[in-house]
Chain A
Amino acid sequence: MEKVMVKGTEAIGEAAIRAGCRHFFGYPITPQSELPEYMSKRLPEVGGVFLQTESEVATVNMLYGAACTGTRVMTSTSSPGFSLMMEGVSYMACAQLPAVFVNVVRGGPGLGDIQPAQGDYWQATKGGGHGDYKLIVLAPSTVQEAVDLTVLAFDLADKYRTPALILADGLLGQMMEPVEFPEFRDLETLPDHSSWALTGANGRKPHIVTSFDIDPYVLEKMNLELVEKYKEIEKNEVRWEEFKTEDAEIIITAFGTVGRIAKSVVEMARKDGLKIGLFRPITVWPFPYKPLEELAEKVEMFFDVEMNMGQMLEDVRLAVKDKKPIAFYSRMGGVVPTPNEIYEALKKEIGRRVK
C-alpha cells in the first residue's frame, strides 16, 4: 500500500474506520477537534454514525450505551474533557465494555493551555476515575504508530472487554507524516459479543450489563475477575521499543512525543561517542517493568525525560528499584523540549556524576 501524508488526528480517525469502527461520539475541544471533524465527514461515507454530543459526560455515556450492544465505538478528547469522562470510564471498566478513547493531552492542570503535554500519565495509567480498574494505554510517538496502535486498541479492547486509551499529545495530533493505512476490516469478521451484549432477549435469558451489585461478596467477585483480567493483560500485552540499548551505558526513558525527540538525542550523543540508548514504553499500562529492570543490570544510569513533573518517573523507579541512579529532566505547561536542550541537560548530569 502506498504512503499518504496525513495529520495525526485525522490518521487516528481513518485508522479507526479501517479497524471497523462505525460509531463516533464527541465534543469539540482543542487541540483535537480535527478528529471529530474528520469523522463527521468520513463516517457518513461508510454508513457510520457521527454524533456531536452536549458534553464529554454525555459522550462517555453514549459510548457506554453503544458498547453495551457489542458495537465498536470511539471518542476523542483533550485533557479537561477526559477528566469529565472519568466517571463513565470507571463504569465501563467495571461493566467490562470495550471502547477506544483518544486523549490528545494538553497543558494542565485546570484549564491549562492548548499546547502538547504529558501531564495526564497518572490519570491514564493509575486509574483516573473511582475504584479499582486499569485501562490499556497505548502511547504512540509517530503518526504511523498512532495508526497502528489505534487498530490494536480496538482489537485489545474487544479481546479483553475493556476500554483502551490512545495517549497522544497536541504535537502528534497536529503533525503531518507519511503513513501507510491498513486494509478495511470486513465488519463480518469483527469479534462476536453475542454471549453478553444487549441485543434483545430473543429466545434466551436477558443479558445484563452492569458495574453494580449491592452484595459486597458479589461485587468482590467482580473485582477479582477484573484483577485476573489485568494480570492476563500484563502477561500478554506489554510493548516497548529499545533503540541502541545493546551497548548503552546510559538509557533515556521517554514515552510518546518525547520518545521520538529522545531518539534524536541518542543520535547526537552517539556522534559525540557517548553510549546512549533509548527505552520507550509503547504500552504505558501495562508498563514494561521487566525489560527495564533487565536493562538496569547492564547500564550505568537512567535519564528520564517527560513533559510533566515526573509521572512515568515513578514507574521507571519501580522497575529500576535502587539498582542504578535515575536523573530526570522535564518541561511543562505545554513547552516541548528540543533535542539540544535535552542533550545539554544530559551532559550536565553526566558531568556532575563524573566529578
Chain B
Amino acid sequence: MKKLLYKMPESLSGKEFTYCPGCHHGIIHRLIAEVVDELGIREKTLVVAPIGCSVFAYQFFNMDGTIAAHGRAPAVATGMKRARPDLYVFTYQGDGDLAAIGTAEIMHAANRGEKITTIFVNNAIYGMTGGQMAPTTLLGMKTTTTPYGRSAENDGYPMHMCEFLKEAKGIAYLARTKVNTPQDVEKTKKAIKKAFLAQVKGIGFGLVEVLSTCPTNWGIDPISANKWLEEHMIPEYPLGVFIDKVGDEK
C-alpha cells in the first residue's frame, strides 16, 4: 500500500528556486508555505517580496504578490492591510533590506502593531549585490566592502534587530531561530506559525528572524557554512522568543 509522506505545499508555485546551493532561503520559503497551507489562508494571503536575493520570492509562492522598494516592504504591507483588513499580508526581507535601509519602516510597522507578518532572513551579508557588508555582518568578518574585516570603529557594530524591536508594544510575536539542523527547521516552522497566528487572530505584528547561511558570499561550502553559523553567528545572535502574546494551541 502506498502512503503519501510528503508533497509540495500548495502555497508554493512549483517554480524552481533560483537560490545558490546551501542557501537557506529555500527551506524558509517551504516553511512559510506549509504554515499558510495549514492555516488554510493561501487564497487570502498577499506576499511582499523585498530587494535582495529573495526579490523573486513572489514567483515562488502560489499567492498574489508584489515587490516592494528596498526596505519598504512593511510600508507596502501596511497599505495593503489597511486597505483590505480581511486579507493576510506577509513581508519577506533580508538583513540589508530590513536592518539597513528599511529600519524606519520595520520599527514603525512593529510599533503600530500592524497586523502583518515579517520573515526576516539574517545571513550577515549582502547576497544579491555580491557579498558586501550587511548591518548584521560580524566584527572581523571579511566582505567585499570590509576587505580587512568589519571594524567597530569604522563600521559600527552588528545590528540586533530583535533586541531593538522587543520594546515595541505593538508586537505580538517576536523570535529568533535558525534552520541549519532538522530540529531547528521544526522549531522555526512553529515560530513562523505563531507569527502568522498573531495576524490571523488579530493580536498584532509578528516577526521571526531566521539566521541563515550564504555559502557563496561567505566563500565556504554549504556544510561548513552550517557549522560557521553555529560557531560564529549564534554567540552574536542568541536564539530565543522575545515576545509571545499568541500563546500555545490547545
Contacts and interface: CB of A to CB of B under 8 A. Distances in A.
Interface of A: 23, 25, 49, 51, 53-55, 57-59, 61-69, 71, 73, 87-88, 91, 95, 198-203, 206-212
B45 interface: yes
A251 B48 CA distance: 51
Contacts of A23: 79, 82-83
B155 interface: no
Residue of A58, A67, A87 with most chain B CB atoms under a 10 A cut-off = A58
Given A201-B62, A208-B64, A210-B58, A51 B82 contact: yes
Contact of B72 (A51, A61, A210): A61
Given A65-B48, A68-B66, A212-B67, 12 more contacts: A23-B79, A23-B83, A49-B82, A58-B104, A59-B75, A69-B46, A87-B69, A200-B87, A201-B64, A207-B64, A208-B58, A208-B64
Given A55-B104, A62-B78, A88-B72, A69 B84 contact: yes
Q: Is the interface of B mostly helix, strand, loop or mixed?
A: helix
Contacts, number: 126
Given A58-B105, A61-B75, A69-B84, A201 B42 contact: yes
Interface residues of B, number: 35
Contact of A198 (B43, B66, B75, B82): B66
Contact of A25 (B61, B79, B87): B79
A256 B105 CA distance: 35
A209 B80 contact: no
A12 B66 CA distance: 30
Interface in B51-91: 55, 58-59, 61-69, 72, 75-84, 87
Contacts of B151: none
Contact of B80 (A68, A87, A203, A206): A68
B13 interface: yes
B17 to A, nearest CB: 15
6 contacts: A25-B79, A58-B104, A69-B46, A200-B63, A201-B42, A206-B13
B108 interface: yes
B104 A57 contact: yes
B44 interface: yes
B46 A198 contact: yes
A91 B69 CA distance: 8
Contacts of A88: 69, 72
A87 B71 CA distance: 12
Nearest to B44: A200
Contacts of B48: 65
Given A57-B72, A58-B108, A65 B80 contact: yes
B66 A69 contact: no
Nearest to A90: B69
Given A54-B104, A200-B87, A62 B76 contact: yes
Contacts of B104: 54-55, 57-58
Given A58-B104, A200-B44, A200-B87, A63 B72 contact: no
Contacts of B46: 68-69, 198, 200
A62 B82 contact: yes
Given A68-B80, A208-B58, A54 B105 contact: yes
A198 B65 contact: yes
Residue among A49, A55, A206 with max Cβ neighbours from chain B (10 Å): A206
Given A58-B72, A58-B105, A206-B64, A200 B43 contact: yes
Interface in B1-54: 13, 42-46, 48
B77 A65 contact: yes
A69 B83 CA distance: 7
Nearest to B41: A200
B83 A206 contact: no
Contacts of B66: 64-65, 68, 95, 198, 208-210
